[in-house]
Structure 1
């Protein structure tokens, strides 16, 4: 049976970096809610049309619609190992996912929690700078831009915005940690380590 893995963790913990490596080296497919919403809207599917109405009205797409889109995508990828990134975000979404997976012949294998302190996240994200010409990402401390490159800070990377994003994460997503811990599926990786060390921890778990 194809593997289904969830990546949980705050913004800036390195989930995207590690997911990309599993895609490149182990043939996984990374699925994020944002990607499947955009894809369904672009294709103009029935579910996509419904999602578009909510998005254009600036409203959150309801859980049942997101679950339906997720099911559609997972059916399409029935024989592929997948990483769910940024989904589920809440316990009701997790419960719906638990009901849906067996219906399409999948199990949830592991939930990997990227653990990183708020201070470290703020340091990582608020130090990010982008070259608007090329889209290349730098960091004022870990990977400074060359002197002749003019860089900007994205709105999302300002400290007050990061703090708000972390508040949302802690209030919505933290209950998932207990939910999956009770199921015995939660594995914690120390996201403050080097990318290679984090990757090796993930590989040893899955």
Structure 2
């Protein structure tokens, strides 16, 4: 099984590139953002709590996120692997994911960091907001999410770097050019 984590700040292109990776490599996509939005749309108890936290620009607690993620993995026993988008966001989450996967005799195969500067991110999200109308693209919330990424999430990268699993890819350029670099990296890892 091939398990991929894709990292990058909000607006780095994780969702766009994940969709292309899923299509090419037949991986199941686990996006914590999508899971949260689904619960919010369905107005579940969890969705109400997540909506409240996200409206304040606060990360959802690990326990909620990890339980949702484990449920999603367990609901897809016959896939070729997973692409984790937006998770893990903390070292504690990365450690929990490793423990969970080890219990299934699996591990993270590769971690890709989409490297995009802050000015490009703000420009992309301003454009995305015009099209999608996503509430989490509000400028104040966006600044909090970007700060959260650079203050907390970015610290997960050394965790995977120590394991020899981290590859950084330039996330600025044409979508297909970035995807070509991602594909080459994934192919190299799969052929080891």
Bin for the TM-score computed over the shorter chain:
0.7 to 0.9
Higher helix share: 2
Asked if 1:23 corresponds to 2:22, the answer is yes
Q: Deviations over 1:75-95 (max 9, x none)?
A: 222331211100111111111
Matching of residues 190-205 of structure 1 within 5 Å: 190-205=170-185
Instruction: Specify every segment of 5 or more residues in structure 1 that has no aligned partner in the other structure, as ranges.
Output: 131-135, 138-152
- CA 1:125–1:41: 2 relative to 1, 3 Å: closer
Tell me the equivalent position of 1:85. 85
Contact 2:41 2:47 in 1 (8 A): no
CA-atom RMSD in angstroms:
2.9
Q: Deviations over 1:91-141 (max 9, x none)?
A: 1111111111010232110011000111111222224453xxxxx56xxxx
Q: Displacement of 1:205 after TM fit?
A: 1.4
Tell me the equivalent position of 1:33. 32
Match of 2:114, SS? Answer: strand
Match of 1:205, SS? Answer: helix
TM-score (norm 2): 0.79
Q: Which has the larger radius of gyration?
A: 1
Instruction: Specify every segment of 5 or more residues in structure 2 that has no aligned partner in the other structure, as ranges.
Output: 54-58, 187-192
Contact 1:8 1:111 in 2 (8 A): yes
- CA 1:128–1:68: 2 relative to 1, 3 Å: closer
Match of 2:11, SS? Answer: coil
Q: Displacement of 1:179 after TM fit?
A: 1.3
Q: Deviations over 1:41-87 (max 9, x none)?
A: 999xxxx86x357447x356532332222222212223312111001
Q: Deviations over 1:152-176 (max 9, x none)?
A: x766445554333211110111101
- How many residue pairs get aligned? The number is 180
Asked if 1:175 corresponds to 2:174, the answer is no
TM-score (norm 1): 0.74
- CA 1:123–1:157: 2 relative to 1, 3 Å: same
Contact 1:90 1:172 in 2 (8 A): yes
Contact 1:75 1:104 in 2 (8 A): no
Higher relative contact order (CA 8 A, sep 6+): 2
Counterparts of 1:12 and 1:188, CA distance in 2: 16
